[in-house]
Amino acid sequence: MRWFFLSVIVLSCFASSGQRCGADEGFKELLKKDPALIDKLKNLGNLSGLNRPVGTNETFIIPVVFHVLYLDSSEVSEIDIRLCLKDLNDNFGKKNLHFNEIIPEFKGIADSAGIRFVLASKDPAGNCTSGINFYEDPAANWEELSPTNFSHTWNSRQYLNVYVPQSVKKADGSYIGGYAYLPGSLPPGDQRDAIVVSGNLLKNGENLFYGKETLTHELGHWFGLLHVFGYVNEAQIDCYGDDYVSDTPPTRGFYECPVSQKDYQFCQPGVSENFQNFMDYSYCRMMFTQGQTQRMRNVLTSTIRNNLWTSENLAFTGGAEPLRPCVTNINLNVFPNPSALKTNITFELPYAQTVVMNLMDLDGRIVFEDKIGATAGWNLYNLSLAEIPQGIYILRIKTSAGTSTMKLLVRRGFF
């Protein structure tokens, strides 16, 4: 679990032309303190995949929640978010409309990541949600590393959290388009384990290309990818940065989109650079390579991210496909009630799942608990009360629809 002892690694990204990100000073400081950080970054692609599905064509479904922050009224709409999500899925599924524009040198290794993003329909308490939360927040304009950021995060082992503050400013006063933390660089449960995209890029469809591609780019970081020009935030420095992916050639990175071959064969004559890669800074980003998608899938199947896509987690978050209706009322009933030695419990579920049932006395003590493999539709459970003392109890059933409760009276003798 050495990953959890890593210091925080932050990668910031430029927003649009004129809004470049600077090299991250914090990262340089980390390197001074921990030179082994480079090896740890390199090994992100070699993590052993646990619980990896058998076969090669699996699609990992990731439940997503957006947290949109605003001062007076949000300029980012739900429609903007949904458009971005569609584009995100096109990018990760190699379906984007620009695919035919990939230069021949890279067309053969452009790859689908096999990752699909779905808005969560259940919040952590089991309530129905659109997966897009709007918060009026006096701190909606973020300072990049402010400790007050990330106050709305839902468990990052269950949800991919996307923050959309109005803007993000670096310590030097410049604005950036977003940032993200590399997997394993934060302690488990840290609220910062999320990605950030500035609302300036998403609002009302303005700059939507940058917004959508920035979202894709930040997710690349969250799944373990570095910039194709290495672990700094500044492109056009030198040819020696490495992203530890074998099929992305050495490059200085690009802010523009070169037309002439000599301009994109700068580092090694005759070797084209992948300026169209989502992990570069150009405005024509449109692909991941096979090496990058393999690295992302290795991270996704490692212990850092391997809970997100399990069927249990998709049931919990309501992110399962085909989309299932969010149901909060399971029509819980108990009869007879009051009861002496046994009672019958019925409830209705939209789909099969494991539910937890318990009885709690009025002092909050759990006197009985069971896990039940419940089916879709009506369920009947016969509860024996022979070992339960007389008294008043709260019957609780925890399902993907939330927790339902009823009062149960256990009384012996005549009634």
Binding site for Zn ion (CB under 5 A): 11, 13
CB of 179 to Zn ion, least distance (A): 7
361 near 367, Cβ under 8 Å? yes
Q: Which is nearer to Zn ion, 106 or 229 (CB)?
A: 229
CB of 255 to Zn ion, least distance (A): 13
Q: Which is nearer to Zn ion, 40 or 217 (CB)?
A: 217
CB of 173 to Zn ion, least distance (A): 20
Packing angle of the helix pair 208-222, 78-92 (nearest 10 deg) = 60
What is the phi/psi pair of residue 213, to 5°?
-70, -30
CB of 208 to Zn ion, least distance (A): 19
Q: How far apart are CA 393 and CA 313, in angstroms?
A: 30
Q: Which is nearer to Zn ion, 13 or 359 (CB)?
A: 13
The residue with its CB nearest to Zn ion is 13
CB of 256 to Zn ion, least distance (A): 17
What is the phi/psi pair of residue 223, to 5°?
-95, 10
Q: Which is nearer to Zn ion, 11 or 299 (CB)?
A: 11
Length of the chain: 415
Q: Which is nearer to Zn ion, 13 or 314 (CB)?
A: 13
CB of 227 to Zn ion, least distance (A): 5
Q: Which is nearer to Zn ion, 122 or 170 (CB)?
A: 170
CB of 138 to Zn ion, least distance (A): 28
CB of 377 to Zn ion, least distance (A): 47
Q: Which is nearer to Zn ion, 177 or 291 (CB)?
A: 177
Q: Which of 281, 215, 227 is nearest to 254 (CA)?
A: 281
Q: Which is nearer to Zn ion, 235 or 345 (CB)?
A: 235
